[in-house]
Structure 1
Amino acid sequence: MKRRTYHMMIAGLLTATLYNTIANLSNLSVTDLDDWLASNNQTVSIQTAVRTAQEKEQTNDSAVEEEQSSAASAAGYSSLKDTLTLSNYPKKTVTATGYTAGFESTGKTPEHPEYGITFSGVPVQRDLYSTIAADIRVFPIGTVLFIPDYGYGVVADTGSAIQGNKIDLYYPSVDAVYDNWGKKTLEVYVIKRGTGKLTAEDLNHLNENQALQVFRNEILKE
């Protein structure tokens, strides 16, 4: 017991000496040092939380890609829909229409400097993962949806007419809109909720998913 008490006293003296040394060198009070340490501990906690969230998001992305890879490589899968177990994802009923980059949908002509550029800054495209418009209060920028009979849509755009549970699906031409879509009310699946931003690199990464290239040509023909 005496030895333990002795060690505790030595530790206390060393701690006090350390505080005094730092205070003298930096012109800070002990209270200031306590505040500084608390602040740095809080910063570390915030950084840890952010890092954990990023790792979780990467893990979710990897799980989706692994599921797609396994399904696409198996015999008998003839459609993009078969590559996911859609019952694993939350769904939402929406009214979906089609749009183009043209004047009839956006009021812009090819001469306009922002022609074909979405709200997120990435160009419109119809691909494995196509750009779509949504109410970003419902589906934030970057949200990935699976839309039956259309495929994957990534929320990249918004619009004054797209309010609430409405989405607008990009097609390269008016004819493609009428031939392939029109207007439908249906259930869509939320594969990944967006963070509020989307880059061209993000979209390219999605579209280069090797497991899904077998389905890409069919989409690009529209």
Structure 2
Amino acid sequence: MFKPIRLDDFEIIPGASMGVAIYPDNAGDKETLINNADLAMYRAKADIARAACFYERSMDEMVRARRNLADELREALETNQLDVHYQVQTSLSTGEIRGYEALLRWGHSQRGYIPPAEFIPLAEENGLILQMGEWVLRTACAKAASWEPPYGAVCPYRPAQAGHGRATRNRAAARPAGAGTDRVDDLCRQGALAAYAAPDQGIGREHCAR
């Protein structure tokens, strides 16, 4: 199950998360038992050091709150409630502006600012990370196409987003923005924290325009 899989120039290490609930200790009927096993699975997915997790009553509230936040993140993505902020990048030797880094931000209407380190893992767990990455790339390319002089825009992204026809999607994002395909470039490094966090947090980056 954990044997590496080679796809083109990338090596992917698969994995699985397992949630366990026991009858009758954790539930008195089939539906509740399956639901509690599902809750335990979400706990296992949130902890990379645990492939399997047994159900505990205390995890109900936490996991359900996480599910609700995931639903709200999906809605925020579909209704354009996310924002891209641009942080200037300058040359250390001359102080000259070299470009800008596109940083994804989520200002929740009720919860306030939610850190990328919290919502990016949610996006990965719930299959939103590719859609989110494409939206950031399109937005950054459109912004970069309007800059004079033509500074570069750098979009962080997760290693999990590598492959999946990324070069094709980059060109598709650049084209309507007015940025030539020669302004689309890839660079990926392993990041310990959320991919769209601040640049001092050791993240991977994608040069979408230059």
Higher helix share: 1
Look at both structures and tell me which one has the larger radius of gyration over its CA atoms.
1
Between the two structures, name the one with larger relative contact order (CA 8 Å, sep ≥ 6).
1
Q: Give me the TM-score of the superposition, normalised by structure 1.
A: 0.25
Q: Give me the TM-score of the superposition, normalised by structure 2.
A: 0.26
